[in-house]
Amino acid sequence: MLTRIDHIGIACFDLDATVEFYRATYGFEVFHTEVNEEQGVREAMLRINGTDDGGASWIQLLEPTREDSTVAKWLAKNGEGVHHIAFGTDDVDGAAETIGGRGVRVLYDEPRRGSMGSRITFLHPKDCHGVLTELVTSATSAPEGESGGH
Ligand code: CMX
Ligand code: CO
């Protein structure tokens, strides 16, 4: 059902400075950047391993775009650090339904748009031993005709 770690989401105050830290310290380059207004974030995706077949693993660096966003609220409380983990699946709808049926709160009725045309949902951290957990179907790993555009 869940086949890999898709990404680790890291909240930061200054995206450009954090990107530069990851480049200078580890040699990780930015593969993709975008603003997701719905989520209230500006983000950079650094590919750690994998290729373009939808099976890659990423670091997702997140800077809030507005003060009322979930990441801004989290940063104000905790400071910078690991914000969530994301498991990859080729069927986010089915995984959310199965996990919801196991008594874990799924935060969205329908998956929403994530990085690079992926479809995402979240599990409540209070039901996951303190870990905000995201489920992701990347645009390239979804069954044909079901990726992106959501
Ligand atoms: N990890 C672990 N625990 C967390 C957490 C996190 N990232 N965010 C909140 N919590 C905990 C809080 O510490 C708090 O616990 P206590 O009551 O013990 O203090 C509790 O959950 C409630 O937190 P809150 O600050 O009142 O925040 P909200 O309930 O308003 O929101 C949540 C929490 C999970 C519902 C919200 O963050 C959410 O909807 N997240 C999903 C969307 C998201 O995170 N988007 C940004 C990333 C986008 C992407 O990955 O593409
Ligand atoms: Co994420």
CATH code at 114? 3.10.180.10
User: Does ligand 1 lie within 6 Å of residue 114's CB atom?
Assistant: yes
Closest CA to 119 of 149, 145, 97, 99: 149
Domain hosting residue 72, numbered range: 4-137
39 CB within 6 A, ligand 1: yes
Q: Would you say residue 144 lies in a domain?
A: no
Which numbered atom of ligand 1 lies nearest the CA of 7?
A: 50
Q: What confidence tier does 146 reach under pLDDT thresholds 50, 70, 90?
A: low
Q: Is residue 58 situated within a structural domain?
A: yes
Position 23 in a domain: yes
Counted domains in the chain: 1
Q: In the predicted model, what is the mean pLDDT of residues 6-34?
A: 98
Share of the chain above pLDDT 90, in %: 91
The reply to whether 38 falls in a domain is yes
Cα–ligand 1 centroid distance for 132 (angstroms): 7
> What is the pTM assigned to this prediction?
0.96
Does residue 146 sit within a domain?
A: no
Q: Is residue 69 part of a domain?
A: yes
pLDDT higher than 90, residue 93: yes
Quote the pLDDT of residue 116: 96
